[in-house]
Amino acid sequence: MSNTEQIEFWNGEAGQRWADSDAMMERILAPVTEALLAHARLSGQTRALDVGCGGGSQSVRLAQELGGDASVLGVDVSAPMLKVAQEKAQSHEQGRARLEFMEADASACDFEPDSFDLLFSRFGVMFFDDPQAAFSNLGKALCPQARLAFCCWQKPQENKWAWQPLQAALKYLPPPEKQDPHAPGPFAFADPARLQSILGDSGFCDVEIVSHAVQMQFGQSTNLKGALADLVNIGPVARMLEGQTDDVEARVQADLEQEMVIYFEDGALKIPGAVWFVTARRD
């Protein structure tokens, strides 16, 4: 999708669905947030920009990490998710950095030059239709030697939480229209060589891309079917199932139960995944 289509998408039904699921997403992604913050080795940063902040849970953790003398600005295109984030900002904690949120397209926003010393993102930078232009624009907002730290998904095959439900659905549904694997979307930065090139050409240096294994935990239920509900609602299958008959949905659900039972433990699905932790600095 183009940036314009992304903005429409995240301000429509999908954006509201993610806003309604914010508590669930915070729980699922909290281990990734903590690992990214530890990997980033932040020290001395006082003006942070969180790109694609969504419901703002990682913005809150970043504000806690940076401390009371710092500030964090979370930016996102989704008004429904920013409403959730604003509610978090109102619950100010003593000792936390000043926390604010803004509705804007970070790839084109006219930020004040040299106004941030940290560019941070948890899964929020893979949706730009022109990533080099987007990172170049963001680079202008950073002061010299500013830090960059974000995470992005590795290829779908390395993320069983996305890949296996998709394969189950494809037994009963036609495949989605084939698209460029580098098109804007969750897995747009799966190729580390391409990502290294994009950042280098956008004015960043000392780029490091490190593999990190994750365990995605979906559902808090007494049975497998209940645990699968979270996975189906937020994964790539959700859009494929829109408008399908109850019979098709039931068939996909039954196949998923058979395929995913090996990951069901203690009332939750614990499914392996893999991300890239990316750090760099502005030239």
Q: What is the pLDDT of residues 30-40, one digit of tens each?
A: 999 999 999 99
Q: Give the mean pLDDT of 254-276.
A: 91
Domain boundaries, the chain: 3-282
Q: Could you tell me the pLDDT band of residue 56, with boundaries at 50, 70 and 90?
A: very high
Write the DSSP assignment of 52-77 as a string of letters. T-TTSHHHHHHHHHH-TT-EEEEEES
What contacts 226, CB < 8 A, 6 or more positions away? 219
Q: Read off φ and ψ for residue 148, nearest 5 degrees.
A: -125, 135
Confidence category of residue 180, pLDDT binned at 50, 70, 90: confident
Does 3.10.20.30 match the CATH number of domain 3-282?
A: no
User: Which runs of consecutive H residues, i.e. helices, occur in the chain?
Assistant: 3-10, 13-20, 22-40, 57-66, 79-90, 131-140, 160-169, 192-201, 224-234, 237-241, 246-260
Per-residue pLDDT band for 92 (boundaries 50, 70, 90) equals low
Per residue in 125-173, pLDDT (tens digit) is 999 999 999 999 999 999 999 999 999 999 999 999 989 888 888 888 8
- pLDDT for the residue 194: 97
Predicted TM-score (pTM) of this structure? 0.92
